[in-house]
Amino acid sequence: MPEALPLQPGDPRRLGAYGITGRLGVGEQGAVFLGADPAGRTVAVKLLHVRLSGEPAARGRFTAAFEAARRISGFCTAAVLDADVQDDRAYVVSECVDGPSLQQLVDEEGPRGAAVVERLAVGLAVALAAVHRAGAVHHDLKPANVLLGRDGPKMCDIGVHGALDAVLGDTRWDPDASDPSHLLYRAPEQLSGLRADPPADVFAWASTLLFAATGAPPFGDGSPSETVQQIMYDDPDLSAAPDALREVLAAALAKDPAARPTAKGLLERLLDEGGPLAARMPASLVAEGRALAAGAVPAPKPPPAVELDPGAFEATTTFGAVADDRTTTMGAVTDDRTAVIGALPAGDGETRTFDAVPETRDPTAPHLIPGLRAVDDDEPPRRSPSFPSLRGMRRPGNHVLGVALSLLIGVGVGIAIIALVLWPQLKGDDTAEPPAGAGDTRPVSVVPKSFAGTWTGTMVNNNSQASFPLEVTFEEGATTARVVYPKEKCNGTLTFESGTNSSLKLALEVPRPCTPGAVEATLQPDGTIRYAWTRPGTNLGYQGALSRR
């Protein structure tokens, strides 16, 4: 099982039918969590940064976008098991692969040898051929989306980018993105604003393999404009690639999409009987690849059906509503969700539920309240032995009781007024200050004690949904704070402008490639800081939650 970090404040504890047990990491599109399905099987759950509109149509477009991806099982891919929306947050459930990403492995241990790169080339070509055969396009193949499991490489995040396109209605690259890393493996046509089709995946396949062979992006990792220029017009250096791959990599990196081989064409060239690669690959991989290349593989079977909680997919949300055909619901009310109390597997797909109100009134049926049974028409009603019959009470007695009860209520109200209103004045403590923290609006001229410490978290770009880590250190009584962008290797300074005990407005000064701007840091009731950056005069911005380290 992959090693997971503890959940942070604000992380979900459950998404649909899946329990969340730990945090695996944060990427450009979302946070990835370790989870378990209702049967206890380990899964990976990716909670996307983007928020949907909440309309049923948006949810429908999102889930429908994964139909092709869910038809792919095996073929060097991490199977997509489920996709849905909870509280306007979209999530994707996939097979959990126990192993690092190619990006992580190369960053930690350096470039891979020729044998590993060759195995990656064939395995990822098999995955692409299966994806394209199912009618899907990856859109975002890169080293971070290649997981290295015990049984070989597996391509993940299939269909995620396409689903976001389907919901947001925008397939173009956003040139204002603060994180340039998402450009490094894009095809020229994607950077030109054209739709990403299968040839773009082939270009990304070749770029990913060059990263594995060299330890660096094939078109450099400079500024966004420099990266775009090189992808559009320059040819990468292929000298570090294995000899058996150099020619097919050059073809896959053609600037013209029509000039690139298809994924099936890649397999034909890689596994040619007269070539050297087939003899060095596992026999099962060769057989699978050749069958895909020949188009002789039967349509992949969908992954086994997950035993989902039926309450996660109900069409309506109710809370204690009484109707003829309604299931008891309880808990937080969320859009398009009904949690079913006590839904238990009954075998053969049947689900046993407990109804709040029976459809018919059977006089012989048990009473809804345990311990009481239905009244028999032939039997006189029973009275509780603990209380006298109200029928026997006389009106004067009731009147006396009413007067006594009124006096008791009046005394209680008087005591409450004294406790809530007069007592602070009697103590003379009307000048006591509320504790510093969330919601404290008293103005300050320096960093207050409530902000002191080092805070870390993940920021999300408002336009591109790219994410990146951030660290901020505040000192009590200071007028500046230190900010660090570990991924971009930028160190900046936040200068106090105005604020209260719960919210600070600061000016960020930071060198390139990071960008200066205006920052607002606000304490939240859960103890985190909401950190929001904007650049005045533009629509640029990013924000996220920071937790005290």
Degrees to nearest 5, angle at CA 107 with 103 and 108? 120
Backbone angles phi, psi at 339, to 5 degrees: -85, 125
pLDDT given for residue 39 in this prediction: 92
What's the pTM value of the predicted model, to 2 decimals?
A: 0.56
Domains of the chain and CATH, by start: 14-294 (1.10.510.10), 315-372 (no CATH), 449-548 (2.40.128.20)
pLDDT given for residue 178 in this prediction: 46
Q: Is 335 a catalytic residue?
A: no
Catalytic annotation, pick one of 37, 82, 84, 140 = 140
Q: Return d(Cα 123, Cα 409) in angstroms, integer.
A: 78
Quick one: which of 486, 488, 509 has its CA closest to 497?
Answer: 509
DSSP 422: I
Degrees to nearest 5, angle at CA 127 with 64 and 248? 130
513 cis-preceded (ω within 30 degrees of 0): yes
Query: Which residue ranges in the chain fall short of pLDDT 50?
Result: 171-178, 298-401, 403, 421-435
Quick one: which of 501, 540, 489 has its CA closest to 519?
Answer: 540
Q: Return d(Cα 47, Cα 89) in angstroms, integer.
A: 7
pLDDT given for residue 405 in this prediction: 54
